[in-house]
Structure 1
Amino acid sequence: MRPQMRRQKAEGRRQKRFFLFLLSLSLHPLLFLLYPSLIFPLHPATAQTIQDRKVEADRLLQQGIQQIQTNQLPAAVQSLEQALTIYRQLQHRPGEGAALIGLGETNLRLGNVVKALELSQQALAIAKELNNPEMEKFARQVLQAAQIADNPQKREADRLLQQGTQQIQTNQLPAAVQSLEQALTLYRRLQHRAGEGAALIGLCETNLRLGNPAKALELSQQALAIAKELNSAEMEKLARQVLQAAQIATNPQKREADRLLQQGTQQIQTNQLQVAIQSLKQARTLYRQLKHRPGEGAALIGLGETNLRLGNIAKALELSQQAIAIAKELNNSEIEKLAQQVLDAAQQITNSNVPASFQKVEADRLLQQGIQQYQTSQFEAAFQSWQQALQIYRGIKARLGEGRVLSNLGLAYRAIGNYGKATEFHEQALAITREIKDRQGEGNALGNLGSAYFLLGNYSRATEFYEQHLTIAKQIKDRGGESNALDGLGLAYRALGNYGKAIEFHEQALAIAREIKDRQGEGNALGNLGLAYGALGNYGKAIEFHEQALAIAKQIKDRGGESSALDGLGLAYRDLGNYGKAIEFHEQALAITREIKNRQGEGNALGNLGSAYFLLGNYSRAIEFHEQALAITREIKNRQGEGSILGNLGVAYRTLGNYGKAIEFHEQALAIAREVKAREREGTNLGNLGLAYFSLGNYGKAIEFHEQALAVARQIKNQQGEGIALNNLGNALFKSGNLVVAIKTLMDGVATWELLRQTGAENDANKVSIFEQQTVTYRTLQKVLVAQNQPNAALEIAERGRARAFVELLAQRLSGQEATSLIPQAQQASMTLKGTKPPTLQEIQQIARAQNATLVQYSVIFDDFQIQGKEEARQSELYIWVIPPQDDITFRKVDLKPLWQQQNTNLAQLVVQSREGMGVRGRADVEVALSPEFLKRQQEKQTRNLKQLHQLLIAPIAPLLPQDPNQRVIFMPQGELFLVPFPALLDANGTALIEQHTILTAPSIQVLELTRQQRDRLTSRQSVAGKSLIVGNPTMPKVVTQLGDTPVQLSDLPGAKQEALAIAQLLNTQAITGQQATKTAIAQQMPNARLIHFATHGLLDDVKGLGVPGAIALAPAGNGQLNDGLLTAAEILEMKLNAELVVLSACDTGRGRITGDGVIGLSRSLITAGVPSIIVSLWKVPDDSTAFLMTEFYQNLQKTPDKAQALRQAMLTTKQKYPEPLNWAAFTLIGEAE
């Protein structure tokens, strides 16, 4: 109620003064000032000039003292130093001492503690010399204050006081108590009474807010005693204020009266008018007994308002007049103003001549007032305004106005997270618009219902309402409404995981917004496109759209839109892994929300900051931001936001290993989700509770919650949620020992993920992004099958769970059914593409026979372990399957736990160490002279690492590999194993693997079959041999590898030019080098080449932010475009090539972004473009050995069509001349040998 609001404002002013006092204490630790009494009597001088100088010194001293008192500290230093100089020239010791004390005080305030110590010691010496007790007293005071300020304990006490003050301001009350109690302890230890008093006032304030009035009373009395002792008027004033508040709060009758007044206020706001009268009458009776006139006046105003709403006009007149009398008695203008408003309204209604049109004007005013309150997050005030408007509209039967108010009430309830209540109001509004045939209003109501159901997590229902809105908008040619409906559909489809469809709708919304010049709508559509591309993992595109949205918001001065765009940028950079940049954007968004007083936006920004710090691993900071966000959501009664933040806190505490706390938060979040009927959130919180109980080892409870989460996901048709629930449920069943049901559950999970990939993504990058999130289900299913002694079935799942997006893309290219914008997505999803079905065990064996090679498939398996009281996923085992061309499949597993349990490493680190041990460096790196001792140690480390990798990866299957070194072994690595230098692995005798076997690699077994089909396609097409395309050391471009970075000039590679010339001579063609090797020229020739060789720089980065990393450096065209001259993996992906072999003699061309779908990079793009055989480098290889190896390779290739044999022999020959693995082991053949 209004009187309550007035009291809250007064309380806010008192708190503000309190905070300022604490701040002043922390900034100015010295509480006394120099007064004129420090000017000591001076002896008269005989010479007039000396007397004049003495007068000038006294004036400067007095001026310096006044400047200290008015806080003009730099000016005070100047005045006092001039005075000190004159006093010293006159050898006037009393004046010198006074000036030194003043300078000590000033330096202390300026933070120059050491200088203050020095000056006060000098002053003390003079005081003792003059036997001047008053000077000695002041000098000692400054000295002691400086000594305290120089004390690290004092600095820590000040810091804790400042921290406690800020925590009170942000309502982190338990944390504030902790900070202030620590400060109090330190101040008492230091006997710093001023600090002690400030800390006591802070603790009193905090305890008062926490509902501990008895404690507050005790503390305020202690603070008051200190204030009197120090004769500090400001401290005494604050202590008395808090003491009085505590005394009132400890009176049980006063507390009950306040509670009843607050209850009555809330009952009015929720239209419970009869019970409001009862509450307010009881409050009035208690206030009268206490003779608390302000409370009585507030209760009378509330009773007047309630009677007015109930139509008891005469009673309202009487009560408001009584309230006015009390206000005048108290000389309280605020109570008088509020009472007069009730009186005026009652008098207007009693006037029977007031026409309905006048009442409508008042209702319209209240409607507009509510809108303004809503826009500034004053939701309670908006509710009150709209409820009053609703009563008037209904009284005069203004159905249009009634519908608009109901619609706004729905929006307000949506804003505070009460989506169930929001749908009720929007449904009432919809009924009225249909009754009065307001088609535009009907469309808006349908759109609002769509948004409410979207926020409830019922996306299919939301889609229905958005589609109805879209239909009406098209019928009445409401282009703005059409754009809004399309944007809503985009949001719903994104939530359903159908990102392609989402982008399509947002693009349509964007086009309409631009057509009708709706700049705000344009910004919204751009922001939504950014979110959709971010969900796909296409962060470059996401950032681009958010930046456009930000630019529009700035142009139209839409500070709210600006904040949203900054938050969107923060989310994109967060998902990109650039948490520092994310925090920077979220902080900017936070600043704007605070500037425009958008409390909901402020809570969102704080929550996003919490999430960024969580991903950064700074869990305490994450919890701090989430707690601030939680306080805001509770303040504005945003129940959905509150639930989300509680869920985030639960996740943070579970990560910290505090599972009890995590369960507590998730249970609170679940209760809120059910209260506001947010079904998706309900499912998420059920799943999080399942995970927390899983971490505790309570698998029965975990299964119970995951089953509930699964039921919710299926009810609301949330495929993503269903897949997650099935994965978690399957894992819990596995841990509980129920393997049969676990297998069925995880198989259902795999089926769910595969359906989602078909319907939710229409291009390769999208499918890769989606699959990246789903690989854990395939790995868990492998574990369960192996535990049930079904290793061959586990192999089928291992193959089914890798390179699926790659397989589908290759199959599309081969079948000519590549997805285009001309083919409807539903039709694309229904196509049965050749080769996309995962191979069965028999088909896997057939592929081994067709390749005439032994296939080796690896799978790295993780498990959950308790590490220092926290659950962590660590590498557990390595599964290896050997598929020979003729015999049965054999399964082996290797225990990886000793790596991290005993050696403090893991498989990924071991791979990195093996590369570092070989001294991997770039072509253009500077040679460094290394000592023989260092080289020896490096050699020993290299040998150890390569032997250990052999022991893990090869030794368990060595007897199963072919004995004939000319027979092929094709490795299908996983994850970090893609970077293993297989040819260089050493057995116990020091023999390299390349000496024993002919080695190839492939992303998966099924990809091998598809590259074989590519080879057959080329063989049938190419009756005439194509030319060779040899490129070496182009004129190097300038490149930007990270968004926003400065372009860097790539270095020249003269060795690469010599390599290209030598190979071109061998192949009887001309090498293209220097300025001739432009991207345009090379790209034009690539489709017609039979063999392509690149000797240039290779980049690992996703230079366009499209999710497809990797690029080949070619000569720039000089067009001024960013990264002019880079032929990117994404561009190669769109080509149609006819080469039988591409050799990437560039640096690191075999590397890329390792995903659940394999390595995304240059080799993958080239195979997709039609090339069946690729030779790539796993690291940067020295010039001489590269040129030698490549020359040997092409010479061998002229003798034999077997590329794998040609490469093996070239490696062995190079190894003889350049024995270090760095020089010969980097290259690997991917795909077909012949």
Structure 2
Amino acid sequence: MLDKADTLSWGNRWAEAQPIYAKASQLFRFQNRPSKALYAVVSEIPADESVSAPATILKLTQDLAKPEAQDLETKLRILTIRGMLQINYDAAEARATWQEVFSLAIKLHHYELATRAEGEQGIAAFILGDTDTAKKQVVRAWGLSKVERDPAATVRYASVFGAGLVQLHRYKEALTPLDQAIKIASSTNGLAYPTIAVYAKIEALAGLHQYEPALALANRSLARLQGTTYEAHKSQVYISRGSISRESGNWTPAISDYEQAINISKKIDNYRGVTDAGGLLAQSYEHVGNLPGALNAINDAIEANTKIPDELYLVPRNLAIKAGIVGQLGHVDESDALYRKSIALVDVMIEHAATINIQRYLLAEMSDVYSGYFASLCRQKRYEEALVALEKVRGRVESEALQHHTSQPIHSPTPEERELTRLNIALVNTDDPASRASITSAIYTSELQINPSALTQETIAHPVHLEALQRSLSPNTLLIEYVLAEPNSHAFAITHDSVTPYRLPSKSVIEEDANQYRKEIRGEREDRALAQRLFSELLEPIKEYPQKTDLVIVPDGSLHLLPFSALSDKTAYVLKTHTVDVAPSATVYDLIAQRVKRREVASMPYIGVAAWTQPADTRNPIVRAITGPQRSQLVPLPDSKEEVETIAEDLPHPSTILLGADATEARFKKLSSQSTDVVHLALHGYADLDYPDRSALVFAPDPASGEDGLLQVREIRGLHLKARMVTLSACNTGVGPVGQSGVANLVNAFIEAGADTVVSTLWELEDHTTEHLMAQFYSKLAVHNRKVEALRTAQLELLDRGLPPYYWASFQVVGDPNGTF
């Protein structure tokens, strides 16, 4: 009887196991077997979520002191049940309990349970803000569960890993483990409904703006839970459904669902549920103008979090929400103190981020903390502090790299990296959809095993100060740092002798227009009305704009992908009157400016690379973009050979040119550490918006070298470049997933690796037009034009020929705009 119940509970089917455990406990009491009776009694607990968890946890702790709990199997069961409850209510206590479970399970040779215990420690670590440990432990448990053929554990850890990705806004990536969990649960007899995977998928679909399927899944899940005692699960689905309504702009049903979630959570002392739903309810009340209701809701949320003081993840968000509310109520000092405390907690979380991309997503998730404080400080005219607050998040990853990169050692490929290379080669060489799906899944698993560099543990301690930044700006330069937010966005306009904040339209309005304009340009259409509307939203309010000729743009959100040179006033494009440079942040701009002053004389003035130089079918335009690393897409780029050779004639010698089969990844990596003026890469480019570390430049195949021919973002970061300029004459090199912390793309990876300037593209371009623009660009550099002025002149030549922005606005200068060759 007990074996049958244990089999059901092992598959998380606790509700079905509960009556069997009840009968077993009666039988064991009758047989005077108190240890087994206690084992069965505590095993009934997980089936009922309607009781107070803290009281139950206390009772289980008391049970451990009973004589009958000295039986090690019974003790292990009590600890396991206690850990299950604690993981939902107090992650710090849960972590300690699961450590005990792990040790005792090993002692009793219950290795599958030990694997689960390690995974549960990882879940607790994530809730506590330790994402580095969380990733290692959950991924290890997930992998071992497959080896041990424990489908219930595979479902559990695929679910929680996917849920963690959802928390980091990596929605599309999250669908891979979540769908895997749901598929295994539905196809394996004896497994419970995968509730965690389902409600995480609801949030992922909502994050991808797939509201109808998200809402349908939420409604099906709630219908399934009605009549059960799974109260904590009901609360979570109400939160998820409320967020769908909120994202859709339906605030009344959102408020109703959040209130329902809070009521359920309070009934069962689910403090985490109150903390989460309370913050969301406060934001909703604030949006509809109910500030007293918002303040009450956020106070309840913060009070609930004091019951679980070690759980940091929601604390910065809730403190920032309260800071914004009390600021609107006129309590400025209290608001400032709350913002400062919130930012300090975010810094702690960033220090424990497992990878650079998790740093980016955590910063994006917490972006409201920084933008809210920035806006508050601007209203108080505390501009120095406003810049510092903003720079703690802007371009943070790149700033860290610039400050610490030279201390990061070059290392030989690890076994995990070699396996990833093998899989990438296999992916490139097959067009079969089934094979590509299988290999892509293996790549995902392999990527999870690669450890982050030591750089991810560093924290930027010294963002640029206003006076220092102003010293690095020329009299003709206007630096504009944008902050997209609701209900108003902001622009911070800085010159060598002034600083002025401006209020702009909302984030939703600006991003809708920016995304539509980019779509129009990529369709080779000229939309002057939309260009003028964006100009009126982003540049016209700034009084310094007509007084300066050189723009430095620090973008935010979708503005990372917007070509500012193609905005237009009523008479002309911005390109006609201004140069445009892009910087990841004001701090990065200043750090590069300081590095340029120390740059040594180049030993190799020019390195040019063109891998795909063979003749081609020229009946159709050839573009330098591919949609995935696929051999059949790697068409010849015949103009790229003439491009790199023409540039060599314009620049000083000696030079190194790698053409065709000689243009391999291994040869370029060997050359890349030399001091150079210009590195010009005329290659195919691949931008992966879902897995940004996979974005790559494609070199000639060279299997014997041990390289896969894909110079990916994660590899670029590890290069030790000494280049004054890197030109990425490939398509989509400036594209990547964006957030307030920056854009994860090839360009920023080269900045991190040591390039002063990167010239990149925002969309796919036709090969011949690219070659022509590049030739003009370098001819102007050869006569000592500044980098940014040389690009502008080359672009103007195409504009003056009557070509629409598609042909000239894609190229942009990132980093140092000045300097001549």
Q: Compute the TM-score of the two structures, normalised by the length of structure 1.
A: 0.56
More displaced 10-residue stretch of structure 1: 715-724 or 603-612: 603-612
Q: Is the 8 A contact 2:478 2:545 kept in 1?
A: no
Distance in 1 (CA, whole Å) between partners of 2:498 and 2:377 is 19
- Of 53, 61, 73, the match for 1:427: 61
Distance in 2 (CA, whole Å) between partners of 1:1168 and 1:507 is 28
CA pair 628-589 structure 1, distance change in 2 beyond 3 A? farther
The residue that corresponds to 1:483 in the other structure is: 115
Say yes or no: does 1:1075 pair with 2:661: yes
Distance in 2 (CA, whole Å) between partners of 1:818 and 1:1124 is 18
- Of 468, 487, 492, the match for 1:881: 492
Q: Secondary structure at the match of 2:673?
A: helix
Deviation of 1:719 (Å): 1.4
Q: Is the 8 A contact 2:612 2:638 kept in 1?
A: yes
CA pair 641-774 structure 1, distance change in 2 beyond 3 A? same
CA pair 739-425 structure 1, distance change in 2 beyond 3 A? closer
Q: Is the 8 A contact 1:1011 1:1172 kept in 2?
A: yes
In the alignment of these two chains, the number of paired residues is 772
Match runs of 1:644-659 below 5 Å: 644-652=236-244
RCO higher in 1 or 2 (8 Å CA, sep ≥ 6)? 2
More displaced 10-residue stretch of structure 1: 1196-1205 or 473-482: 473-482
Distance in 1 (CA, whole Å) between partners of 2:779 and 2:465 is 40
Deviation of 1:725 (Å): 1.1
The residue that corresponds to 2:138 in the other structure is: 506
The residue that corresponds to 2:312 in the other structure is: 719
More displaced 10-residue stretch of structure 1: 515-524 or 700-709: 515-524
Say yes or no: does 1:845 pair with 2:470: yes
Q: Secondary structure at the match of 2:733?
A: coil
The residue that corresponds to 1:352 in the other structure is: none
Deviation of 1:1166 (Å): 0.5
Say yes or no: does 1:497 pair with 2:129: yes
Q: Is the 8 A contact 1:700 1:736 kept in 2?
A: no
Deviation of 1:913 (Å): 5.2
Deviation of 1:909 (Å): 4.3
Say yes or no: does 1:908 pair with 2:527: no
The residue that corresponds to 2:583 in the other structure is: 1002
Say yes or no: does 1:398 pair with 2:33: yes
Deviation of 1:793 (Å): 4.1
The Cα offsets for residues 36-91 of structure 1, whole Å up to 9 and x where unpaired, read as: xxxxxxxxxxxxxxxxxxxxxxxxxxxxxxxxxxxxxxxxxxxxxxxxxxxxxxxx
Amino acid at match of 1:448: I
CA pair 1114-539 structure 1, distance change in 2 beyond 3 A? farther
- Of 889, 893, 898, the match for 2:503: 893
Distance in 2 (CA, whole Å) between partners of 1:917 and 1:1094 is 28
CA pair 1087-445 structure 1, distance change in 2 beyond 3 A? same
The residue that corresponds to 2:92 in the other structure is: 460
Q: Secondary structure at the match of 2:28?
A: helix
CA pair 1093-487 structure 1, distance change in 2 beyond 3 A? same
CA pair 979-684 structure 1, distance change in 2 beyond 3 A? closer
Q: Is the 8 A contact 1:727 1:745 kept in 2?
A: yes
Q: Secondary structure at the match of 2:299?
A: helix
Distance in 1 (CA, whole Å) between partners of 2:99 and 2:453 is 18
Distance in 2 (CA, whole Å) between partners of 1:954 and 1:1097 is 34
Distance in 2 (CA, whole Å) between partners of 1:499 and 1:1115 is 37
- Of 29, 43, 47, the match for 1:412: 47
The residue that corresponds to 2:723 in the other structure is: 1139
The residue that corresponds to 1:774 in the other structure is: 366
CA pair 1056-531 structure 1, distance change in 2 beyond 3 A? same
Match runs of 1:748-1147 below 5 Å: 748-759=341-352, 761-790=353-382, 793-814=385-406, 816=408, 836-848=461-473, 854-864=477-487, 876-877=488-489, 879-885=490-496, 887-895=497-505, 906-912=509-515, 914-915=517-518, 941-942=527-528, 944-957=529-542, 959=544, 968-990=550-572, 992-1016=573-597, 1018-1019=599-600, 1024-1025=603-604, 1027-1031=606-610, 1033-1034=612-613, 1041=627, 1048-1067=632-651, 1069=655, 1071-1088=657-674, 1090=676, 1091-1102=678-689, 1106-1108=691-693, 1110-1117=695-702, 1125-1147=709-731
CA pair 808-663 structure 1, distance change in 2 beyond 3 A? same
Distance in 2 (CA, whole Å) between partners of 1:983 and 1:1120 is 42
Match runs of 1:423-572 below 5 Å: 423=57, 426-427=60-61, 429-432=63-66, 437-439=70-72, 441-456=74-89, 458-473=90-105, 479-507=111-139, 509=141, 546=177, 567-569=178-180
CA pair 1028-512 structure 1, distance change in 2 beyond 3 A? closer
Distance in 1 (CA, whole Å) between partners of 2:530 and 2:285 is 40
Q: Is the 8 A contact 1:802 1:1004 kept in 2?
A: yes
The residue that corresponds to 1:322 in the other structure is: none
Q: Secondary structure at the match of 1:1108?
A: helix
Amino acid at match of 2:650: L
More displaced 10-residue stretch of structure 1: 438-447 or 1143-1152: 438-447
The Cα offsets for residues 305-327 of structure 1, whole Å up to 9 and x where unpaired, read as: xxxxxxxxxxxxxxxxxxxxxxx
Distance in 2 (CA, whole Å) between partners of 1:1214 and 1:447 is 69
CA pair 817-799 structure 1, distance change in 2 beyond 3 A? farther
CA pair 825-739 structure 1, distance change in 2 beyond 3 A? same
Amino acid at match of 1:770: L
Distance in 2 (CA, whole Å) between partners of 1:507 and 1:918 is 42
Unmatched runs of 5 consecutive residues or more in structure 2: 415-450, 617-622
Distance in 1 (CA, whole Å) between partners of 2:342 and 2:41 is 43
Distance in 1 (CA, whole Å) between partners of 2:213 and 2:720 is 51
The residue that corresponds to 1:705 in the other structure is: 297
Distance in 2 (CA, whole Å) between partners of 1:1128 and 1:989 is 42
The Cα offsets for residues 423-455 of structure 1, whole Å up to 9 and x where unpaired, read as: 3564355234x6664345434432332221112
Q: Is the 8 A contact 1:536 1:766 kept in 2?
A: yes
Q: What fraction of aligned residue pairs are identical, expressed as a percent? A: 21
CA pair 735-825 structure 1, distance change in 2 beyond 3 A? same
CA pair 807-1098 structure 1, distance change in 2 beyond 3 A? same
Q: Is the 8 A contact 1:502 1:532 kept in 2?
A: no
Q: Secondary structure at the match of 1:812?
A: helix
Q: Is the 8 A contact 1:1148 1:1177 kept in 2?
A: yes
CA pair 539-952 structure 1, distance change in 2 beyond 3 A? closer
Deviation of 1:770 (Å): 0.9
Deviation of 1:1229 (Å): 1.8
Deviation of 1:699 (Å): 0.9
Distance in 2 (CA, whole Å) between partners of 1:1087 and 1:1205 is 28
Q: Is the 8 A contact 1:1098 1:1113 kept in 2?
A: yes
Deviation of 1:1141 (Å): 1.3
CA pair 507-880 structure 1, distance change in 2 beyond 3 A? closer
Unmatched runs of 5 consecutive residues or more in structure 1: 1-364, 547-566, 571-585, 865-875, 901-905, 922-937
Say yes or no: does 1:1186 pair with 2:770: yes
Distance in 2 (CA, whole Å) between partners of 1:1038 and 1:995 is 27
Distance in 2 (CA, whole Å) between partners of 1:914 and 1:543 is 29
CA pair 920-1070 structure 1, distance change in 2 beyond 3 A? farther
Distance in 1 (CA, whole Å) between partners of 2:552 and 2:284 is 42
Measured on the aligned residues, the alpha-carbon RMSD in Å equals: 4.3
Say yes or no: does 1:747 pair with 2:334: no
The Cα offsets for residues 253-277 of structure 1, whole Å up to 9 and x where unpaired, read as: xxxxxxxxxxxxxxxxxxxxxxxxx
The Cα offsets for residues 869-923 of structure 1, whole Å up to 9 and x where unpaired, read as: xxxxxxx34x3333222x23233334569xx9xxxxx4334445555665665xx
Deviation of 1:1062 (Å): 1.7
Deviation of 1:1173 (Å): 1.2
Higher share of residues assigned helix: 1
Deviation of 1:1006 (Å): 0.3
Deviation of 1:1184 (Å): 4.8
Deviation of 1:418 (Å): 6.2
More displaced 10-residue stretch of structure 1: 434-443 or 1051-1060: 434-443
Q: Is the 8 A contact 1:410 1:421 kept in 2?
A: no
